[in-house]
Amino acid sequence: MDLDWPGCRNVRDVGGLPTADGRAIRSGVLIRADSLGYLNDDGIAAVRRSGVTRILDLRGDAEVAQFPTPFTGTPLAVRQTLQDPADPDHGQPTIVAACTWMLDRRPELFAAAVKAIADEPDGAVVVHCHGGKDRTGMVVALALSVAGVPEQEIVADYFRTQSRLAAWLAEQLADEPDTSKHPELLEFRETRAESIVAILRHLDTKYGGPEAYLRHGGLNDTDLSKLRARLVA
């Protein structure tokens, strides 16, 4: 369900997504978003009305320092970057290659992000990065997969970001007069269904699936059970 948080472009509660056993993800427990730094005063008030008890910021230190959100540094916000500051730039030519590079390099950080969702006892956890697209998309896909949401539903949720960010992408293209740079912008700014499909296939092939990947990153039976209990109605 799309949420109206004025100032943000890409906010939705993933509640209602079906699970393979006929149940559904609970509403009001997991919200995905673009950077909360875009919020205006009405948006900040909307967050506070939404029952949010944890905001999981996946951005790196430099991003947060340059673009803090109204919640940065407060007890509500938890920093969980998906890259170590010592990591080099990924230098990959495609978004899929960049995402799988991150997953392979820092499974413990992705596992920690998913554990942060599982460990919050009450209320809604907001997961966000910059656009709410790839880093947020991967963490949410991992969590939903463990909760038993079928892949086609995970892919459809990921692809919804394409329409939410379409106007922003058009603005970025219009602001870049050098059209030779547009293909790279499109590669890293579009939200293609086939991208998350390729990322999930990578996890299947290399690790045995999302749950096995999270175990590789350090999660155990208790962590995974807590996540399912928190997310599934």
For residue 221, how many other CB atoms are within 10 A of its CB?
Answer: 8
Work out the average pLDDT over 118-128.
95
CA 126 – CA 64 distance, rounded (Å): 16
CA atoms within a 13 Å half-sphere pointing along the CA-CB vector of 219: 28
pLDDT at residue 92, rounded to an integer: 87
Calculate the alpha carbon distances from 121 to 42, 112, 114, 155, 226 in Å. Answer: 27, 16, 14, 27, 9
* pLDDT per position as a tens digit, 33-67: 999 999 999 999 999 999 999 999 999 999 999 99
pTM for this prediction: 0.95
Calculate the alpha carbon distances from 157 to 45, 149, 153 in Å. Answer: 26, 11, 6
Structure tokens at 139: 């963490």
Work out the average pLDDT over 149-171.
94
Work out the average pLDDT over 104-112.
97
Instruction: Fill in the DSSP letter of residue 2.
Output: B
Please, are residues 8 and 39 in contact by the beta-carbon 8 Å criterion? yes
Structure tokens at 27: 């509403």
pLDDT at residue 216, rounded to an integer: 98
State whether residue 22 is helix, strand or coil.
coil
pLDDT at residue 185, rounded to an integer: 81
10-14, 42-46, 82-86, 222-226: range with lowest mean pLDDT:
82-86
Measured between its terminal Cα atoms, the distance across the chain in Å is 16
pLDDT at residue 88, rounded to an integer: 74
CATH superfamily placement of domain 12-231? Protein tyrosine phosphatase superfamily (3.90.190.10)
Question: Which of the pair, 84 or 76, is modelled with greater confidence?
Answer: 76
